[in-house]
Amino acid sequence: MTIDSAGAKILLVDDNPANIDILIELLEEYDVRAVLDGESALDTVQEEVPDLVLLDITMPGMDGFEVCRRLKDSSRTKEVPVIFLSASNDDASVLKGFEVGGVDYITKPYRAKEVLARVKTHIQLFIAMQQLEKIATTDELTGISNRRKFFMRSVKLIEQAKNKRIPLYLAVIDMDGFKPINDNYGHDIGDAAIKAVVDATKELMPPKICFARLGGDEFTLMLTGTEEKVLKQLDLLRKKVETMRIPGSGVHVSLSIGVTRLSEDTDTIHSLLKRADKALYHAKKAGGNKVAAHLKSS
């Protein structure tokens, strides 16, 4: 895996402008953003998550150790590597830096080659971990979330919906007659059909929706809104796919969709999937190319 770290985003936190100038000049191949205190650092990462934080320990107000603790307590920034900067290299400070979540410790005055080597190493490790995570949670054929990623996201969405009383719906989507497409036209056309359904779904559904391929020709997505709105969105998808022809073959595809609603505090992703699958069964039994709803918890 080749990793290009040039242009990576670094957040530099130091109350000494002279130190900031030195590091910005030294780290010219990176996109460095500098702030003078811990509070500003915590505000900045809410706007944009960096690939690395260079964090001075001794600052007025909130010190670097506390800033690091807060970064590690946030799901948004807990994986971002933090390198501490300090004029002191006593064992207690170095140990505390690692205890609060730092990955490295650079002492002042700065040695250019050491700074560059440490920064590059930790940025490349961070980028590599992100790439591996993407591979592990992305469906290779379509580029959308895979089954593993769906279960990770759905649990959080269900918890959020329960806490905030947000109407949440789960739909399971299945392509009608998919096996004969593979058998009669080959897997290349089958793959093209799957991609076409994914493209149609992404076009019609809200951006950043929880949309995943469960496996084969089965997909799932989670929607918020009124019952009328959700059912209308799903039926628009069904109608769009119904009119499509797969490029290179003229193959026609259609969808059966089963949908359910989060209705009980005891609902889990497994109970929702079970009800959505039951609704999907009824859509298939009725001849396919239909949206069927099972909106009660029983």
| C-alpha span between 262 and 270 (Å, rounded) | 11
Tell me which H or E stretch contains 41.
helix 38-47
| C-alpha span between 118 and 65 (Å, rounded) | 19
Place of tokens 């119904």: 242
Query: Would you tell me how many other CB atoms lie within 10 Å of the CB of residue 87?
Result: 12
Tell me which H or E stretch contains 50.
none
User: Collapsing DSSP states into helix, strand and coil, what is residue 188?
Assistant: helix
Residue 297 DSSP symbol: -
The maximal CA–CA distance of the chain, rounded, in angstroms, is 75
Which DSSP string do the residues of 128-179 spell out, in sequence order?
A: HHHHHHHHHHB-TTTSSB-HHHHHHHHHHHHHHHHHHT--EEEEEEEETTHH
User: Collapsing DSSP states into helix, strand and coil, what is residue 292?
Assistant: strand
| C-alpha span between 76 and 81 (Å, rounded) | 12
Place of tokens 């006593």: 90
Which residues are catalytically annotated?
217
